[in-house]
Amino acid sequence: MILCDTGIIVAVINSSDNYHVRSVSTISGMKQRLITTQACITESMYLIRDRSGWPGQQALIGWLEAGFLNIHPSSPNGDKRACALMRHYADAPMDYADATLVVAAEELGIARVLTIDKHFYAYRIHDKTHFEVLP
């Protein structure tokens, strides 16, 4: 499994995005399952609606329905951990969607993340392990 951040989702769906070609190229070669969080889906739906309208949102809905992109469910402990991470990385800053991806990495034992967000170079899994940032 590979974690998938909001920026990659938006870039693949929005053909006018600066990262579109690179993101499509990266995802098209993926053989592993892509997983994200509800917070990233919410953030993606908002940004896609703003940039690509309903057709873009339909594309993301199709990804979810087809199982191309899977959602890691949040938990009460995970939500608390996400809040603690946001406090810890307040200078980065870390938003809630990014925090939920770090929590998912910790819970699932995943260190690979698809993102255009440079903050993931600073974030640590269990406060010690670096992410492998793709593309």
- Per-residue pLDDT in tens (0 to 9) along the chain, 135 residues: 999 999 999 999 999 999 999 999 999 978 899 999 999 999 999 999 999 999 999 999 999 999 999 999 999 999 999 999 999 999 988 999 999 999 999 999 999 999 999 999 999 999 999 999 999
Domain hosting 49: range is 2-134
Q: Which helix (H) or strand (E) holds 80?
A: helix 76-88
Q: Give the predicted TM-score (pTM) of the model.
A: 0.95
The CATH number given to whatever domain includes residue 109 is 3.40.50.1010
C-alpha to C-alpha distance for 84 and 67, rounded to whole angstroms: 30
C-alpha to C-alpha distance for 104 and 125, rounded to whole angstroms: 9
Please list, in sequence order, all residues whose beta carbon lies within 8 angstroms of the beta carbon of residue 7, skipping any fewer than 6 positions away. 19, 115, 116, 117
Please list, in sequence order, all residues whose beta carbon lies within 8 angstroms of the beta carbon of residue 36, skipping any fewer than 6 positions away. 3, 4, 5, 6, 9, 69, 70, 71, 72, 101, 104
DSSP 130: E
**Residue 30's pLDDT is what?**
86
Count up the domains in the chain and report the number.
1
User: pLDDT for 31-56, tens place per residue?
Assistant: 899 999 999 999 999 999 999 999 99
